[in-house]
Every structure is written in C-alpha cells, then in structure tokens.
Amino acid sequence: MRRAVPRVPDVLAIPFTRAPSCARSWLALCGKYRLEISVLTPTNPTKATTQAHPNIALIKYWGKRDTALFLPQTPSLSMTLSGLSAKTTVEFSTAFKADRVELDGQSVQGRELERFTMLLDRVRGLAGISERARIASRNDFPKAAGLASSAAGGAALTSATALAAGLDLSAHELSRLARQFSGSACRSIEGGFCEWQKGVRSDGEDSFAVQIAPSTHWPELRMVVTICSEAKKAMSSRLAMQHSVDTSPFFEGWVRQVDLDLELARSALLARDLDALGPIVETNACRMHAVAMGAHPPTIYLKPVTLEVIEAVHGFRRDGIQAWFTLDAGPNPVVLCLDTDAACVAQALSAVPGVLRTVTASPGEGATLLDEHLF
C-alpha cells in the first residue's frame, strides 16, 4: 500500500499540529539528514481514501479470550477476496468540531460511533495530533449478512485513518490496529492468504495477521459467494461468539480442535491441494455452527435456502466436481472450487430457489490507497 509519508533513505518526516511561527511547513538540513516538517492546518487538511476486500475464513475465528482487545481463543486462516470491496475516506482537520461518520450515506451515532472514535483516538495518540475526523465508507456488498463486511470496512478504515494521520505503519502494525476495531479486519490488511496468530500476550501485541501466501500463490482457486439473504443478522457475530463462549458445552472441544484443523489446512493450502483442503474447511465451518447452535438459547444462522445450497454442493461432488462449502456467521454459503468449475458451480447455485445472486471471487489484494475520495 502506498504510504502517506514516503520512507526513503536519509529523510526524517515529522508531523506537527501547529505551524512554526515562521511558516506552515519548512525544510531544514541537519547533518546528513533532510528534516521534513509537515503541518495539519484548517486550510490544508489531511485526507486519505483506501479500499479493502473482505476475507472468508477457511479456518474460523469464533470466540475471544479478551473482548476489549479482540484477542481470539484460537488462530484462524483466511483468503482475501477480489470482486467485493469497501472504500473509506478519512479526513482530519481543525475545522471539525467532532468526529463524524457516515456508512453508505447513513450517519452513525451512539455506541457504534464510539467504536470509530476509539480507533481514531488510538491513531491520534500514535500520530500526536488532536484534530477531529470525518469518515465516509461505502460497501458494494451486503453488511451484517455473514459476508465479512466488517473485515473489509475495518481494514479500509484503519489504513485510511493511519495514512490521513501521516503515519507510516507496517502491515503488522496496521493489522493490530484493525483487530481492535473488528477482529477479522486484521486479516484483510494484506491480500492472498493470511493467518491470524492468536498470540499469548495479555496486551495483544503478538496477535495480528501474517500473510502466508500472496494472491498469486493459487490463482486458480475460486470462492463462489452465494447470497441467500441480504438482511441484517438478528444477532451480531460479536454477541453470538461470546454467547457461545459463555453457554455452549461444545466450545472447549472447538478450541482443542482448531489448532489441528489449521495445521492441516495450512499444509494443504501451501501445497495447492484442494482435495485435502476442502474437507477440512467444510468440517471446520460445520463445527463452528454446531458450537453456536449448542449455545443456550441456540444461535442459528442457517436458512432453508442455506441447506439447499449445501445439498447442491454435496451433489457437485457426487458428480465429480471438486467443490466444498464454508459458512461464516450468516446464511450465505461460500463454495470453494477451481476456476475450471467456477462457472458451472455459480450457474447451478444461481438456479437454487431462494438464492438472490452469486459472486465469484479469486484471491484478492490487500488494502490499497485510492486517488478518488468519497467526499
């Protein structure tokens, strides 16, 4: 991702919130270094726009060991998707009296606004600035329907906020920040295939996503996203996973199993072996939903059409097509297959009664800086 302040040899770049009395910005020579001092002013606001893509977990994240810092009980593994995206513009300015957030044209208020403000405050602290911010974000796919909209939105928000504040953060630093906004967002900072390390530290400094393979590692791999519902979930993933931790008798078994699932999935992924990867991915998704359905009262995300899609996937395999499903916390299955089968899989799933549409995605890129702003 392009950076707000280029990292080049022998240059030190330091942001200031108040201009020196002699000028709003100036360059000075100091020994062998060129010292660049930039200033945020009402007439020169700092703005950045980034785009990020959702990721679909191959090995699921379900359950936190720390709800405040979004630290997971288990590691997870995901593929970043092309074809679906969130775009976010962030601007800091002394002209703003308060933080303002718009999602798909709707103003964000109350507790949801507090989530954004907490991220903004973390970034302001890192950058040493105090300006308020304006944020606008747009998704081109349904929110809160089990399609990782919060992952794409959180990654775009984090990267745009850091750039707008003049920070030059590594992918791991951005991932840690994104994790504290939305856990799965940490896996959308980088593209391709990413593993979210659960970490062991209480402060969460060792819990972030790392790219284990770029998008070019397996360009033939496809995910056919089957949209069965665009309605907002009755219970958010955040609440549902904590409900599972608190009340599901299956949760401890889930935690014990995930490490083994991830090890097998990682090996199959790196070997580009779909026959080995598919069954692990499908079983892991079923186990996650079993944990949720075993909570008291049960959390059930599946719809009748979800089951029809799952049966269709089983039918593909009986017909000799390599296809396996996964399912995040929502009613919309995602089918893993190869590019040679993707068109027929998408066509067949589109014909299932109740399916609204399908989107076929290949491994996608990480968060990127855009030139065109949303405001």
Is the domain spanning 46-215 CATH 3.40.50.150? The answer is no
Q: Which residue has the tokens 């200031």?
A: 16
Q: What is the pLDDT of residue 243?
A: 98
- Confidence grade of residue 240 (pLDDT, cut at 50, 70, 90): very high
State the pLDDT at residue 143. Answer: 61
- Say what the pLDDT of residue 230 is: 87
Range scoring the smallest mean pLDDT among 96-110, 130-144, 229-243, 258-272? 130-144
| 197-202 long-range contacts, CB within 8 A, separation 24+ | 197/75, 198/65, 198/71, 198/72, 198/73, 198/74, 198/75, 199/71, 202/66
Looking at residue 73, what is its pLDDT? Answer: 97
Q: What is the pLDDT confidence band of residue 25, given thresholds at 50, 70 and 90?
A: very low
CA 110 vs CA 113, 115, 118, 238: distances in Å: 5, 9, 13, 17
Which residue ranges make up each domain of the chain? 46-215, 221-361
Averaged pLDDT of the chain: 89
Task: Confirm whether 46-215 and 221-361 share one CATH topology.
Answer: no
Residue-by-residue DSSP string for 280-347:
HHHHHHHHHHHHHHTSSS------HHHHHHHHHHHHHHHTT--EEEE--SSS--EEEEEHHHHHHHHH
Q: Taking residues 76-103, what's their average pLDDT?
A: 96
Domain 221-361 has CATH 3.30.565.10: no
Reported as a pLDDT band with limits 50, 70 and 90, residue 1 is low
Contact 110, 82 (CB under 8 A): no
